[in-house]
Amino acid sequence: MIKNRRKPLSIHWTCGSLAGLAFLAGCASIPSATPKTTGWIKDEVADSYVFGYPLVLMGVARDAAVGTEPGQAPLNTLRHAQALPPIGAANPPQPGVDTLDSTGWLDLGSEPVIVALPDSHGRYVDARVLDMWTNVVWSTSSQFAAGAKGIKAQAIAFVGPGWQGDLPKGVKRVDVPTRNAWVSVRVQSSGARDLAAIRKLQRAIRVEPLSVYTSDTGDTGAAPGAPPRGNAANTATGTNGTPAAQVAALDAKGFFSRLADALPDNPPTPADPHALTILSDLGVMPGEPVKLPSASAAIAAGLADGHERVATAPPNLLTGNGWSWFGDGVGNYGPDYALRSYAASAQLGMGTRDDEVRAVVTQDSDGHPLNGANRYVIHFAPNQLPPVRGFWSITAYTRDGALGESAPSRLAVGDRNGAHRNRDGSLDVIVSSTRARNGNWLPAPRTDLQLVLRLYAPKPQATDGSWQPPAVVRQ
């Protein structure tokens, strides 16, 4: 991880004249110190920024989401989306139009937290839990391996570090290496007509500490029609920018102070004493005030380098026909800190290769920027349709990730909403701001745009490089 470690102070000995080794002891010694460079500070700041970025970002996201203000929910409570994203929505970027999401933050410091999911009766449900380093510790992806479309009723206990005890019968234990964890439950939607059924499913999800779960008699004490314990119905979002924008605005002292504060409850996963040693070199110790070196120029240069590295796609990102997407290493990163930080900045909350693939394209087959004023076709050959166990869709956004103003702006084309195949089994998607008379029309904003292809519960060939989306061809 280190490009250039700090050079120790060196002492050089000089003599006016040496006739041989026998005279060495009689030489006058004049010590001179080589000036200490600051290159190691720049490099270690940049390396440590990349290393710590996911933990700091998750902490900022948690702080923005937890509370009692509009758009927030307390710890160990889910916040349910009640409607599809509005036109122009870009916070977070690329809002999904295929699912309604329920999200929350768990505190596992004193006892396990139980997440109980109801039977979805064949409806696609994607649930996952991430630790504070953005590693996926549990998801429902394995439940689709046998071809199931929905999930069965189940209860999972998420257990923090060091907890010992017994769990209720039938509750699955999942150990989490960090005190906090992020939970997301995404329920497939078929549009506005489907909202009542989704809300009923959302109300049936329980998130409770173990002590509450075991004493719960089923009577929530709530008024008729109110959400049960562990649920909060609201859809507002913060007004201070995305978590990624807030982290990018931190100076070095602010960033590393947040990192030092988070480390005691959220040790590195996997354990990395080398990374902690480098942080110590910089005066960053878990749970202690940060004391950065007195080298402001080197620190600023290292912070800028860290920003650039986090935003730069790593070489193990998959690319093809202008599209880019994450492959097999996503979701459980090990020591691949470059991939982990880039994934966190690009798609916070990303699952594993078995949960979801999200491919993005911004240029046509000739390398020109996509623009809704043009007409494009995406041609899937009969044997090259997106390989999924769940379903797939394509959505158009502005370049900054907002839903376009052109109606019907929420429309996504995919197999869940009846995309029509050609006679030979192939499939064409027409992308344009002007309605297409034939084919599967994807409305596009009347500006430069990006397309996002989502594969829910993808098959292995979607992430091992053996399949790639077709080019976007201007007609």
Q: Which pLDDT belongs to residue 437? A: 81
Residues 6+ apart with CB under 8 A from 296: none
**Final residue before a domain boundary, out of 210, 233, 256:** 233
Q: Which pLDDT belongs to residue 233? A: 56
The predicted-structure confidence for 319-364, as pLDDT tens digits, reads as follows 999 999 999 989 999 999 999 999 999 999 999 999 999 999 999 9
Mean pLDDT of all residues in 13-39? 41
Q: What is the pTM of this model?
A: 0.86
Mean pLDDT of all residues in 195-213? 95
Task: Give percent of the chain above pLDDT 70.
Answer: 84
The predicted-structure confidence for 422-434, as pLDDT tens digits, reads as follows 999 999 999 999 9
**Final residue before a domain boundary, out of 174, 208, 233:** 233
Q: Domain for residue 91, yes or no? A: yes
**Final residue before a domain boundary, out of 186, 202, 233:** 233
* Unique residue bearing structure tokens 């490009």: 3
Q: Domain for residue 148, yes or no? A: yes
Q: Domain for residue 393, yes or no? A: yes
Looking at per-residue confidence, does 19 or 65 come out higher? 65
Mean pLDDT of all residues in 94-114? 94
Q: Which pLDDT belongs to residue 183? A: 98
Spatial separation of the C-alpha atoms in residues 245 and 345, rounded to whole Å: 9
Q: Which pLDDT belongs to residue 129? A: 98
Q: Domain for residue 3, yes or no? A: no
The predicted-structure confidence for 257-279, as pLDDT tens digits, reads as follows 999 999 999 999 889 999 999 99
Question: Which domain, by its residues, includes 130?
Answer: 72-233
Q: Which pLDDT belongs to residue 236? A: 41
Sheet (strand 318-320) strand order: 318-320, 323-325, 356-361, 449-456, 392-398, 413-414
Q: CATH no. for residue 207?
A: 2.60.40.1610
Mean pLDDT of all residues in 199-215? 95
Q: Which pLDDT belongs to residue 241? A: 82
HSE of 13, CA atoms in CB hemisphere, 13 A = 7
DSSP code, position 222: P
The predicted-structure confidence for 190-203, as pLDDT tens digits, reads as follows 877 888 999 999 99
- The top-scoring range by mean pLDDT among 23-32, 83-92, 340-349 is 340-349
